[in-house]
Chains A and B, each alone.
Chain A
Amino acid sequence: MKYLTEFRNGEVAQRIAREIHAITTRHWKIMEVCGGQTHSIIKNGIDQMLPSGPTASVEMIHGPGCPVCVTPLELIDKALAIAAQPGVIFCSFGDMLRVPGTDSDLFQVKGAGGDVRIVYSPLDAVDLAARNPDKQVVFFGVGFETTAPANAMSVHVAKRRGLKNFSLLVSHVLVPPAISAILDSPGNQVQAFLLAGHVSSVMGYWEYPPLAEKYKIPLVVTGFEPLDLLDGIRRAVIQLEKGSHEVENAYERIVTFEGNQHAQKLLAEVFEVTDRAWRGIGVIPNSGWRLAPAYQEFDAEARFQIQGIHTVESALCRAGDVLRGAIKPAECAAFGKQCTPRHPLGATMVSSEGACAAYFNYGRFLSVDELATAGSALSNA
């Protein structure tokens, strides 16, 4: 697979970075929407390669695109309550297991005897349901437009196979309403967006021209490899400097304008748009999907009727400010102190896509200078 080297070429990266330096004449703030992009930026130190002078700079603001992070606490508590019930096989993607609910997480439920399983595809959970007719199999279907088609397929298949013991605990969220919400917020500083490459591979980018027009803001569909990200940033800066506001596709090898039509058709059949609460952000109108009436029987929330959930968010956690791009993770007083990956206060410190986890794991509590000295000392050693 050539992409492993081709899109990680350090020399080409330096060349694009130099070009960004050359064209930047003012201070720009660009948000990458997706948590996968945040991790790649921090892991590869791409933010360190961007201009940061007194008169011209490009600052990356990390967006809310981490599915694990924005899943409401109440839904996590419901998941924990369902998973703890006897006769339930609770299936989830791996990185949901460590996300803290109010009192517990799925690992603890598993340790206490709950049948919690990591699956790699929602269809595996459907097979589990077929093999275990005396059990209730629940799949925790969270995420953005990227994970939605597979989750939609799971209920579609379960319905076709007539499975009565499969259900979906669903909390899907959508990117375009989140972008509108960020741009409408009074303190917004974001001047351009890198759109999430994987989301766009499913949805295309036909939804975005009206947004670009309404908010007069450049939107660039961007991938995840270092060169993808640098190219996305470069194109956004070119637009910002010119004062234009187009939707551009910098991830052409994956994304088309129309997106995956089959997936979109399935999504329209299985889901309907609804208001969604985003953890740390609040309710955003029309920002998510729930099961459409034809698939209501597969709704785990309806099937299990969990009552008496009292959610308590950590008073210290500022995940909401991080997800809105209002602060950088290390600016939170609890970062690296009360809140670490071992004892996370919020989901942003847990998920492999969470911005706080990225900052912690890649050492962004150190100053850039400290890291740089460490490196140069070494090459001299």
Chain B
Amino acid sequence: MPEIDKLATPDFSNWSCPLPLADYPTIVMGHGGGGKLGNELVEHLFLPAFRNPALENLGDAAVLSLTGKDGGSGRIAMSTDSFVVQPLFFPGGSIGELAVNGTVNDLAVSGAIPKYLSASFILEEGFPLAQLAAIVESMAAAANTAGVQIVTGDTKVVERGHGDGCYINTAGIGVLRDGINVGPHLAKPGDAILVSGTIGDHGMAIMSVREGLEFESQIRSDCAALNGLIDAVLTAAGPSVHAMRDPTRGGLSSTLNEIANSSNVGVHIDEARVPVLTEVQSACELLGLDPVYVANEGKAVFFVAPEAADLVLATLRDHPLGRNAALIGHVTSQHRGMLVARTIMGSNRVIAPQIGEQLPRIC
């Protein structure tokens, strides 16, 4: 893990913008115009929050080093993701944390050590600067926790009515470890399947605060950077890990169906073993949703050689983000390309990939 610049965590809890930004308590078109206002946003907001040597040059591109002890095999992984979540702040997180953790997790499940991120903001005219500051603060904190640096970025402003407050894109690069070879196409018959904790928390946390659907609940998003957890697993059982995925949109079902397809194997899980919080299960019942289709932002699924299953499970449970980890199933050479679940009644059913959005039902 690189040394994190301790200066990079200013306190934004009572943030107010120094002059002349205070002239504009909200985003105006000029903030994206490439001129003085935009520069002020960088100098007063982004740079103090994300400060690191690569960013401080404020060049058109960050110049990075991936050699030395961090260099590994010299192979790098790269990923990008865009974040358009509504609401921007929700129980357990915000769009800023999602933007950092989402890209960190995509790199981590590819077997890479996440290093550097870019951050691009598309802001709507009129968006309150105080909210932007809170988002940036949460990104800085998330980057700090994940041990990555935000080294380059961009801001654009769109006219009022042409955006939804704040969209964020992050891209990231990480270095691949020697001797680790994971991918969704590498699951093998006999592999054990583990999930790092309860499923559906993020999706239901968002649902509980979505306009028109607010319901009282204690459900919090599981939004978290998984690189530490994955590092622990790879350190303990590296070559035995064949595939990893973070089951985000489309939930556990999409992830397991994708791996079944990519690896041309059958995936079989035991429904009773899939950990689901009671609150999440209840909220899903209320809305007619199935937790296996609901999004997660801080969970990983592991396909590991059967002899490593116990070790990986113990390693996961030793980590703060893996306390509720469970062995949920196995890979089989039958029903290739399909996800089949043993139901609580003891029968079997196919869990099909989701088509489009999951829609709350009529009654």
Give residues in A with beta carbon < 8 Å to B. 1, 4, 8, 10, 13-14, 36, 42-46, 48-49, 67-68, 93-98, 107, 118-120, 124, 142-144, 146-147, 198, 226, 341-342, 351-353, 360-363, 366, 370-375, 377-378, 381
Contacts and interface: CB of A to CB of B under 8 A. Distances in A.
B64 interface: no
Contacts of A107: 356
Contacts of B347: 44-46, 48-49, 371
7 contacts: A67-B362, A93-B361, A107-B356, A352-B359, A362-B351, A363-B340, A378-B329
Interface residues of B, number: 40
Contacts of A4: 278, 281-282, 285
B345 A374 contact: no
B217 interface: no
B7 interface: no
A363 B363 contact: no
B359 A118 contact: yes
Contacts of A120: 212-213, 360
A147 B282 contact: no
A353 B361 contact: yes
Contact of B268 (A48, A67, A68, A375): A375
Interface of B: 189-190, 212-213, 266, 268, 272, 278, 281-282, 285, 288, 306, 329-335, 338, 340, 342-352, 355-356, 359-363
Given A1-B278, A67-B362, A363-B340, A226 B345 contact: yes
Nearest to B212: A124
Residue from B333, B334, B345 whose CB has the most chain A CB atoms within 10 Å: B345
Nearest to B279: A1
Given A8-B345, A45-B345, A93-B360, 18 more contacts: A1-B282, A4-B285, A10-B344, A13-B346, A44-B349, A45-B346, A49-B347, A93-B362, A95-B361, A118-B359, A120-B213, A352-B361, A362-B350, A373-B334, A374-B340, A374-B348, A377-B332, A378-B334
A353 B288 CA distance: 10
A363 B338 contact: yes
A370 B335 CA distance: 8
Given A363-B349, A373-B334, A44 B343 contact: yes
B304 to A, nearest CB: 13
Contacts of A377: 268, 332-334
Nearest to A11: B346
A365 to B, nearest CB: 9
Contacts of B342: 375, 378
A144 B363 CA distance: 9
Contacts of A118: 359-360
A370 B331 CA distance: 16
Contact of B332 (A8, A14, A46, A381): A381
Contacts of A46: 345, 347
Contact of A360 (B285, B352, B359, B360): B352
A381 B360 contact: no
A202 B335 CA distance: 43
Contacts of B333: 377
B352 A363 contact: yes
Nearest to B215: A120
B258 to A, nearest CB: 16
A97 B333 CA distance: 38
Nearest to B363: A146
B346 A14 contact: yes
B268 A378 contact: yes
Main secondary structure of the interface of B (DSSP, over half): loop
Contacts of B281: 4
A93 B360 CA distance: 7
Contacts of A8: 344-345
Given A93-B361, A98-B356, A371-B350, A44 B190 contact: no
Contact of A374 (B282, B334, B346, B362): B334
A94 B268 contact: no
Contact of B362 (A13, A142, A342, A362): A142
A96 B272 CA distance: 31
A372 B347 CA distance: 8
B350 A363 contact: yes
A13 B272 CA distance: 15
Contacts of A372: 348
A4 B346 CA distance: 16
**What 10 pairs across the A-B complex have the smallest Cβ distances?**
A45-B347, A363-B350, A94-B359, A378-B268, A371-B348, A362-B349, A352-B361, A146-B363, A381-B330, A93-B362
Nearest to B331: A381
A367 to B, nearest CB: 11
Contacts of B343: 43-45
A371 B340 contact: yes
B362 A95 contact: yes
Contacts of B351: 361-362
Nearest to A148: B363
A341 B355 contact: yes
A94 B361 contact: yes
B97 to A, nearest CB: 27
Residue from B334, B344, B348 whose CB has the most chain A CB atoms within 10 Å: B348
A195 to B, nearest CB: 15
Given A120-B212, A381-B190, A374 B266 contact: yes
Contacts of A362: 349-352
B148 to A, nearest CB: 37
A1 B284 CA distance: 12
Contacts of A43: 343, 349
B345 to A, nearest CB: 5
B340 A13 contact: no
A372 B189 CA distance: 17
Contacts of B190: 381
A46 B347 CA distance: 8
Nearest to B352: A361
Contacts of A142: 362
Given A95-B361, A146-B363, A378 B212 contact: no
Given A10-B344, A44-B343, A124-B212, A371 B349 contact: yes
Contacts of A351: 361
A124 B211 CA distance: 10
B339 to A, nearest CB: 9
